[in-house]
């Protein structure tokens, strides 16, 4: 199961890299979204995928789920939500101000402003 | 009071929330900002004295005991940097009154600066590796807003690159923390350190060391990863640039210093050699940039990169003396970089351009500015008895003693490059005959000049008063060289 | 262009309240079961966005005459205030207090100060989400 999840995370990273290398700003933002999804899946897998029991329990549990990676992922999700939101707003403003969402055309000279 | 070490984080946070309510009145925002920043400086000074007297201070947040909950740890290194960051923020806030412009002031500039300070002070103080990530993100999120605030075209264009680079580095950070957790089973930095020393031979630890170096190197601007820095930092106006140059890159350097002395000191022949090599390349790359550009902002920005190289070399040598030098130089560099960027901002304000070819002859009308800038430049280079001297001396001497001759010589050569670039800047801006004669009327710069001069004076005092600072720095070094002190203080064994 | 979508608007009016109630339920469930301030806040802002789609910005503004940026500050104040309350009792920052109370109607209920913190999160999430959607949607 862990290996499968690692492969899935790798696929997400690959897709994210592909999208982030494209010229369109919106694709880049979707790429960052996929990147953070991949990261979160990786984090979950890192904690070990044990199924079948609640996180918090006594001293002698046969099986349990580690709650820490889940807490970390929750935090990371909230943070990536915030960052994506800020990024979207900046990209939108840039589109309005510069009149393009193409990174190639955005690469103007410093004298252009 | 049990909660003392949190005050330098909590005060700016409360101030930021209050400032958001006051967004209608610029005057009220200014007053609250100054009071809050001054209170933060005061709180940091109190904690500094407390740490000096009683050793490392810790708080277990939410009363969860040490390795399980999040712990805040104020050791001497943290609190020295927190104090420096708070002083710089106070000066930058004062400087902003005259220069940032009413549009930015009305658009949440002051609360965001306070949020940035929350992130910076939090990163310095936290004792939990994931919490470090969270404070990094607070700091970065504020910096995203600061870099784009005002919304000029160049700012928007550069901010996209800046955000993208940092989003990627944050993703790598989370992955690295995930790996570290799966190897050690802990997030508390002291606990991780004990776990790693139990399994020190594992090559996975070395891999993790390099992963963390990539993450912190992206923030700190070390050799192959500094590519985003000059463009992005040149976009925002001077006070924001001063905050970025003085605080953000130094948080990256602090994180490397902390992790490489606390976690990754087992495979030094590999990790610290890579660090030393990157440090040298960073210095060379920074020197090339500083010598090549004819632009006030760019020259000063490339000087940030040179300083990061010097600091990294100090960490890589890893003797007691070199770490002492690194800490001396870190505090010095934060103060003097902020001062230089603020002075550079005044020059740009007076001439209306940052291009050296178009500037000149300012010394006749602004002699105080000129000589202050020259003193600041000499301090940056490290001419005795000014503040850069002690740090560089200790780093270079430690380098020679451990046989890192090439590194030590490159540090000295980079000082020459710094000297040439800043003196060139001084000559061009202040002595050269201007192409277009300057207007006879003098611009009012007192409100801008005073905060910048305060920083330069502080830096001179820091240099002259090395004897006074010395015991504080040595206490910080002690904790870094002997991780047991840190571990015992946190885990209370 | 203004289309006359009666069905959408009527359904939105009903569904809006369903989502809000579910959001409040999630918010209160958050202490022991899945849920909490973040999800509750997201759902609430989802409900408001639904109204935004069905009607327009002006109508929604009339329904919610609050500045969403102000909501962010208020939420932060709640959260920071709850955490800082521990300063007054000289216990470590973020330490929360809780006890069981006999309330009429609910019976034996546990009340936590952590709920106030979550309320802050709830408000911040609504504020942030709506501010962003307003910023992006404004010019249309």
ipTM of the complex: 0.91
C104, part of any domain: yes
pTM of the model: 0.93
Q: How many CB pairs under 8 A join A and B?
A: 96
Q: CA neighbours within 13 Å on the CB side: how many for B33? A: 30
Give the pLDDT score at A113.
44
- Rounded to the nearest 10°, the torsion over CA B330, B331, B332, B338 is 100
Q: Which of A48, A33, A40 is nearest to A86 (CA)?
A: A33
- Asked if residues B213 and B275 have their Cβ atoms less than 8 Å apart, the reply is yes
Instruction: Provide the residue range defining the domain that includes B274.
Output: 4-491
Chains touching C, CB cut-off 8 Å, 3+ pairs: A, B
Question: With an 8 Å Cβ cutoff, is A113 touching chain B?
Answer: yes
User: Which residues fall within 8 angstroms of residue B451, CB to CB, at 6 or more apart?
Assistant: B91, B92, B94, B95, B342
Question: With an 8 Å Cβ cutoff, is C87 touching chain B?
Answer: yes
Contact A85 C132 (CB under 8 A): yes
How many other CB atoms sit within 10 Å of the CB of residue B42?
15
Distance CA B297, CA B360 (A): 16
Q: What residues in B contact A39, CB-CB < 8 Å?
A: 171, 174-175, 178
Give the pLDDT score at C3.
67
CA angle B89, B35, C120 (to 5 degrees): 90
Task: Find where tokens 């603020």 sit.
Answer: B342
Give the pLDDT score at C96.
79
A112, part of any domain: no
- Rounded to the nearest 10°, the torsion over CA C109, C112, C114, C115 is 40
State how many domains chain C has.
Answer: 1
Handedness of CA B476, B480, B485, B487 (dihedral sign): positive
The CATH number given to whatever domain includes residue A31 is 1.10.287.3510
* Statement: residue A111 has pLDDT above 70: no
- Asked if residues C54 and C12 have their Cβ atoms less than 8 Å apart, the reply is yes
Burial (CB count <10 Å: 0-12, 13-18, 19+), residue B428: buried
Give the pLDDT score at A52.
64
A108, part of any domain: no
C37, part of any domain: yes
Instruction: Provide the residue range defining the domain that includes C131.
Output: 6-137
The tens digit of pLDDT for each residue in A38-76 reads 999 998 888 777 766 666 666 666 667 777 888 899 899
State how many domains chain B has.
Answer: 1
C1, part of any domain: no
Distance CA A54, CA A70 (A): 12
Q: How many CB pairs under 8 A join A and C?
A: 14
- Asked if residues C113 and C97 have their Cβ atoms less than 8 Å apart, the reply is yes
| Mean predicted confidence (pLDDT) in C50-72 | 85
For chain B, which ranges sit under pLDDT 50?
none
Q: Which one of B17, B20, B62 has the shortest CB-CB distance to C92? A: B62
The tens digit of pLDDT for each residue in B149-207 reads 887 888 888 888 899 999 999 999 999 999 999 888 889 999 999 998 888 667 888 99
Distance CA B266, CA B201 (A): 8
Instruction: Provide the residue range defining the domain that includes A12.
Output: 2-53+64-102
Distance CA B334, CA B464 (A): 17
Find the chain B residues whose C-beta atoms sit closer than 8 A to any C-beta of C.
1-3, 6, 10, 13-14, 16-17, 20-21, 23, 59-63, 72
CA angle B225, B236, A30 (to 5 degrees): 60
Burial (CB count <10 Å: 0-12, 13-18, 19+), residue B16: buried
Burial (CB count <10 Å: 0-12, 13-18, 19+), residue B436: exposed
How many other CB atoms sit within 10 Å of the CB of residue A49?
14
State how many domains chain A has.
Answer: 1
- Asked if residues B370 and B278 have their Cβ atoms less than 8 Å apart, the reply is no
Distance CA C92, CA B64 (A): 9
A113, part of any domain: no
* Statement: residue A112 has pLDDT above 50: no
Contact B61 C92 (CB under 8 A): yes
Mutation target among A83, A89, A96, A103 for the B interface, most CBs of B within 10 A: A83
Q: In the structure encoding, which two tokens stand for residue C18, read together?
A: 């369903």
């Amino acid at each position: 199961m862990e290996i499968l999840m690692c492969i899935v995370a790798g696929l997400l990273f690959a897709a994210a890299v592909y999208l982030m290398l494209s010229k369109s700003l919106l694709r880049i933002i979707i790429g960052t979204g996929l990147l953070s999804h991949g990261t979160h899946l990786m984090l979950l897998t890192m904690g070990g995928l044990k199924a079948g029991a609640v996180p918090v329990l006594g001293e002698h549990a046969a099986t349990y789920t580690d709650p820490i990676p889940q807490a970390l992922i929750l935090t990371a999700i909230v943070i990536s939500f915030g960052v994506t939101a800020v990024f979207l707003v900046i990209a939108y403003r840039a589109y309005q101000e510069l009149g393009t969402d193409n990174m190639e055309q955005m690469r103007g000279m410093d004298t252009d402003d | 009071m049990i909660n003392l070490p949190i005050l330098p984080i909590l005060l700016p946070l409360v101030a930021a929330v209050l400032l958001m309510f006051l967004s209608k009145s610029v005057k009220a925002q200014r007053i609250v900002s100054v009071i809050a920043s001054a209170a933060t400086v005061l709180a940091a000074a109190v904690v500094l004295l407390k740490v000096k007297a009683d050793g490392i201070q810790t708080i277990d947040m939410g009363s969860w005991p040490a390795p399980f909950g999040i712990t805040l740890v104020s050791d001497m290194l943290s609190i020295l940097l927190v104090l420096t960051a708070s002083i710089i923020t106070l000066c930058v806030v004062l400087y902003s009154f005259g220069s940032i412009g009413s549009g930015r002031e009305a658009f949440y500039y002051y609360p965001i600066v306070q949020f940035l300070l929350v992130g910076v002070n939090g990163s310095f103080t936290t004792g939990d590796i994931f919490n470090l990530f969270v404070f990094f993100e607070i700091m970065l999120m504020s910096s995203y807003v600061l870099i784009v605030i005002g919304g000029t075209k160049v700012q928007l264009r550069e901010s996209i690159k800046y955000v993208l680079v940092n989003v990627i580095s944050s993703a790598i950070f989370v992955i690295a923390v995930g790996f570290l957790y799966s190897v050690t089973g802990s997030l508390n930095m002291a606990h991780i350190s004990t776990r790693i020393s139990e399994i020190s031979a594992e090559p996975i630890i070395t891999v993790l060391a390099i992963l963390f170096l990539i993450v912190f190197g992206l923030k700190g601007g070390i050799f192959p990863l500094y590519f985003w820095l000059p463009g992005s930092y040149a976009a925002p106006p001077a006070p924001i640039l001063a905050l970025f140059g003085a605080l953000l890159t130094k948080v990256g350097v602090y994180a490397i210093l902390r992790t490489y002395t606390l976690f990754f000191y087992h495979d030094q022949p590999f990790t610290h050699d890579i660090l030393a090599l990157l440090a040298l390349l960073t210095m060379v790359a920074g020197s090339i940039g500083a010598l090549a550009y004819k632009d006030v902002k760019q020259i000063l920005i490339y000087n940030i990169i040179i300083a990061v190289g010097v600091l990294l070399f100090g960490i890589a040598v890893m003797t007691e003396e070199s770490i002492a030098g690194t800490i001396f130089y870190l505090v010095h560099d934060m103060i003097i970089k902020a001062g230089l960027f603020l002075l550079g901002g005044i020059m740009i304000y007076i001439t209306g351009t940052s291009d050296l070819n178009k500037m000149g002859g300012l010394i006749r009308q602004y002699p105080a500015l000129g000589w202050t800038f020259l003193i600041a430049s000499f301090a940056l280079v490290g001419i005795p008895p000014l503040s850069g001297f002690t740090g560089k001396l200790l780093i270079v001497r430690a380098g020679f003693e451990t046989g890192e001759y090439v590194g030590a010589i490159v540090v000295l050569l980079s000082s020459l490059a710094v000297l040439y670039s800043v003196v060139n800047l001084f000559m061009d801006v202040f002595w050269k005959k201007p192409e277009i004669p300057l207007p006879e009327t003098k611009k009012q710069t007192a409100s801008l000049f005073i905060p910048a001069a305060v920083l330069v004076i502080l830096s001179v005092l820091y240099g002259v008063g090395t004897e006074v600072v010395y015991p504080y720095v040595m206490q910080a070094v002690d904790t870094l060289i002997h991780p047991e002190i840190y571990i015992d203080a946190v885990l209370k064994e | 262009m203004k289309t006359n979508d009666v069905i959408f608007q009527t359904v939105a009016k009903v569904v809006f309240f369903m989502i809000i109630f579910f959001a409040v339920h999630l918010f209160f469930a958050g202490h022991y079961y899945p849920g909490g301030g973040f999800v509750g806040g997201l759902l609430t802002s989802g409900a408001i966005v639904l109204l935004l789609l069905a009607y327009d910005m002006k109508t929604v503004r009339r329904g919610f005459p609050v500045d969403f940026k102000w909501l962010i500050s208020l939420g932060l104040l709640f959260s920071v205030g709850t955490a800082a309350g521990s300063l007054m009792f000289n216990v470590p920052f973020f330490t929360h207090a809780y006890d069981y109370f006999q309330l009429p109607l609910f019976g034996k209920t546990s009340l936590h100060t952590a709920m106030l913190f979550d309320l802050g999160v709830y408000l911040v999430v609504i504020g942030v989400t709506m501010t962003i959607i307003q910023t992006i949607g404004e010019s249309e």
